[in-house]
Amino acid sequence: MTSTSAHATQTVRLCHLYPSLMNIYADRGNISVIARRLQWRGFGLAIDEVGLGDDLAPDAHDLYYLGGGQDRDQNLVAADLITKASVLRGAADNGAAQLYVCGGIQLAGHGYETVDGQYLEGTGVLDLDTVAGDTRLTGDLVIRADLDGDDVTIVGYENHAGRTYLGTAVDPLGRVVSGHGNNGTDRLEGARRDHVIGTYLHGPLLPRNPVVADLLLTWALEHRYGSTELRPLDDTLELSAHAVAIERAGQAR
């Protein structure tokens, strides 16, 4: 386990799960966005990189992140993640923020059945199940989402063989405007419960969707310090990238 920290009056404690194994499609960029958006507002960030065999202490973090990985790496992670499942479920119940991307959302559910019939048990943080399809769902993805009362557009890129189906204890993150989403049929994308978000949107997700980044940061700060209001930032560059992604997907702004 490795740790870095910044000096500030208030510091978010981030748990980055399996960064060396679950980090495809430039998703480490999500961590950079979290760090910068906190720094620009005068907050600190302490990062614990938690890998295979590392202990995960209860209530030690305000924000948890798990990205996607290759099949072999995901298989390795799945077996280890089970040992951390009760801590992650407890953290979700206690209001900590959690973000699961691509392979992350699959392992945050009840389980994932691979194309060869192997069943990878998940953490059960999210009420969903995933089974591998015989084709990949790829391309630009645009969804509409209700984020704590705000109707927003979220953009990204998807590339997954998994078909994810939601249970009754979660809501979709959003509804597909362009792309495939969770399974290519029900037009739903991602999953949401409390302060937990799971999604197939990567590329990475947060640089082009500052509203999602700030929602996660608000949840994380509130978990540690109570009610928090973030100072607005100049997101001209981020929103420009957001608009380009929408246009590339063939959608009007």
Residue 8 has pLDDT above 50, yes or no: no
Q: Is 15 one of the catalytic residues?
A: no
Contact 97, 216 (CB under 8 A): yes
Q: How many CB atoms lie within 10 A of CB 252?
A: 5
Active-site annotation holder among 16, 160, 202, 223: 202
Per-residue pLDDT of 56-76, as tens digits, reads 999 999 999 999 988 788 889
Q: β-strand 119-121 against 128-147: which pairing, if any?
A: unpaired
113 in any annotated domain? yes
101 part of a folded domain: yes
What's the predicted TM-score (pTM) here? 0.94
- List the CATH number of the domain containing 75: 3.40.50.880
Q: What is the pLDDT of residue 159?
A: 94
pLDDT-derived band at 251, boundaries 50, 70, 90: low
SS3 call for 92: helix
Summarised one tens digit per residue, pLDDT across range 139-161 is: 999 999 999 999 999 999 999 99
Q: Are 46 and 4 contacting, i.e. CB atoms less than 8 angstroms apart?
A: yes
Residue 55 in contact with residue 89, Cβ under 8 Å? no
How many structural domains comprise the chain? 1
pLDDT at 253: 45
More confident residue, 250 or 1: 250
Q: Output helix, strand, coil percentages for the chain, rounded to the nearest 5.
A: 30, 35, 40
Assigned domain for 236 exists = yes
253 C-beta neighbours (distance < 10 Å), count: 7
CB contact burial 183-198 (16+ within 10 A = b; e otherwise): beeebbbbbbbebbbb
> Bigger pLDDT: 253 or 123?
123
Which structural domain, as residue segments, surrounds residue 104?
A: 2-248
Given 61, 102, 180, 223, the catalytic residue: 102
Q: Tell me, yes or no, whether 253 lies in a domain.
A: no
pLDDT tens track for 167-220 = 999 999 999 999 999 999 999 999 999 999 999 999 899 999 999 999 999 999
Give the pLDDT confidence score for residue 162 in this predicted structure: 96
* pLDDT value of residue 7: 41
